[in-house]
A and B are shown apart, each in its own frame.
Chain A
Amino acid sequence: MRKFQGRAVVPGACTAEALVSHEGFNTLASYQMALMFGDKKVKCGDQNNPDLYKKPMAGKALCLPMTIGSTTGGMVLYAACAMGRQPACMLFSKHIDSLAASGAILGDVWTDVSMPVVDQLGDEFLQYVQTGMTITVAADGTVTVQ
């Protein structure tokens, strides 16, 4: 078990199974097909992301360096929150990017969904955490991996 301290961008607490992307997470490419066709498991549609492609993302603790790609990214994340298809939490090793931050903030301000978001967990976090591990997030940005 290891603990990592990050910054709570959207504070909250949860426990969920880790889903790890070592590459930039392309929000539009990952979500668009799943949201469009009502895939409740929200399987990742990003062909360029071998860590996540075709893996279910709903309810997972999404561990990633940052998000990349289209500026629809935040809107897509907001839509996922409004439709109840969001990850359990989003955990960034780096400083959160503007698109992910937008989506997380829109979800927080304009929906009733709780999706804790923590950033700046460090490169070591992404080296340590593996898909399938159990993640516990505390409101102060502490992330426990076991």
Chain B
Amino acid sequence: MILTDEQQALLDGAKGEVMAKVVRTLVMYGETFGAERMVPVTSRYGHTVISFGLGVMKPIYDLYDTLLGGDLPKGQPFTADPRPLDDRVPASFLENLVFKKFMYNQQARYEAQLKKLGVTGDDGYTCTCYMPEVGNTPGRGEVLSWAESSAVVYANSVLGARCNRNSGIIEIMGSIAGFVPEFGLLTDEGRKATWVIDVRCKRRPEPQLLGSAIGMKVMEDVPYIRGMEPWLGTELDDAAKDYLKDFGAATASNGAVGLYHIEHLTPEAAEQGESLIAEGAKTWVIDDETLENVRKNYPVIWKDPAAEPKLCFVGCPHMSLTQLKDWTDAVEEGLAKTGRQQVAVPTVFTAPTAVIREFEKTPYAARLAKTGVVVSYICPLMYMNNPLCKSKAVITSSNKLRTYTSAKYYTEADILDIITGKEGAK
């Protein structure tokens, strides 16, 4: 890799040993992928995936102390993934004890570190930092130093920004240095599709199921997806963005997708069309049967697979304002049909703090509260890390949550039936 004089000086220790190690880390990272140079981070904000102060991850916070003690230049401000604790989310006395005394006993220390490093504030804690209410929405072509698989794939695919699937810690180092190695999804070549996916479904494919199927098939490759026009149209409106948010999160967690193109819809596909497809790209056809087979093969690791659901999470990644409103309507309609006043299963909808604040300004908030659904800024994944959750029957419409925890996946329609107490729903 060829470094500028200034970058070489940093590597040689001109700004101290810690900065030299930061740059050495980024150089090794780039050289592993054949990067020939560093490029400036051009976005206003970074985003870090690490938002949790887990007691057992102490070495990470020790490393952050090293960074903070290293007299480093002030890096770019950044948002962070959602916080792991929120008293509004139902938890037993024992669970609360485990959460606060054992699991997240480094939370205060870590949040103090993030503050010193430049986290934007309370509103900055969300995995959907790109939502307009939050304000970390990069523009097309901007170079990012982000981590959080669902945010990276959204920024690349829907916003047309440029970011590799960086790991936690590496992203902060890029934000501190102000430059990142140029490879992979930062290059035109790396953004070409090596898979063509033909979606031939007769009904609207569930976003989190379609994303799961594609992620497991293409793994880290870039798919060019055809056949979505009947379901998403050709305009990136709120409905399309919400669909792609959930779809992308599943591609990234069930596989390792960092960028996808949707024909006639996502910015690069709309502009460049099939010229984005690399020579020799493989093809895969998906239909309703494919998706049903994928869903059927998800393992259920509840201690009692036939247990009655005890908790439901919707919103991993965090929900948008439109989704909160749409779900409010749907829950009310479902309850009206079943003749219930409140949901049959304790249910938590998760969303960014800034979105919740906007939601609370609307009449929908009181209507949703009346149904018994709780709205929280929590990270459901961090909640589910609680070992007691293994014996707790948690259901979700999130394929990401299913992948990393014992939560059982259901389609959105099934979730609605279950939480509104529809007879025979399970």
Contacts and interface: CB of A to CB of B under 8 A. Distances in A.
Interface of A: 9, 24, 26, 28-29, 32-33, 35-38, 47-48, 66-75, 78-79, 82-83, 96-99, 101-103, 105-106, 108-111
A9 B33 CA distance: 10
Nearest to A80: B59
Contacts of B264: none
Interface residue SS majority, chain B: helix
Interface of B: 21, 24-25, 28-29, 32-33, 49-50, 54, 56-57, 59-60, 62-63, 66, 103, 147-149, 152, 164-171, 184, 215, 219-220, 252-256, 299, 301, 385, 387, 403-404, 406
A73 B403 contact: no
Given A98-B164, A101-B33, 16 more contacts: A9-B32, A37-B387, A47-B301, A71-B147, A71-B148, A71-B149, A72-B167, A78-B169, A82-B59, A98-B166, A99-B165, A99-B256, A102-B169, A103-B167, A106-B25, A109-B24
A72 B21 CA distance: 20
Contacts of A24: 219, 255-256
A38 B256 CA distance: 27
A72 B25 contact: no
B192 to A, nearest CB: 16
Contacts, number: 129
B24 A74 contact: no
A24 B33 CA distance: 19
A67 B256 CA distance: 8
Contacts of B165: 71, 97-99
B29 A110 contact: no
B220 A110 contact: no
Contacts of B220: 66, 68, 97
Contacts of B254: 68
A110 B63 contact: yes
Among B50, B152, B169, the most chain A Cβ lie within 10 Å of the Cβ of: B169
B44 to A, nearest CB: 20
A59 to B, nearest CB: 18
Most chain B C-beta atoms within 10 Å of own C-beta, residue among A9, A73, A106: A106
Contacts of A48: 299, 403
Contacts of A101: 29, 32-33
B253 A69 contact: yes
Contacts of B148: 71
A21 B28 CA distance: 26
B250 to A, nearest CB: 11
B166 A102 contact: yes
B166 A68 contact: no
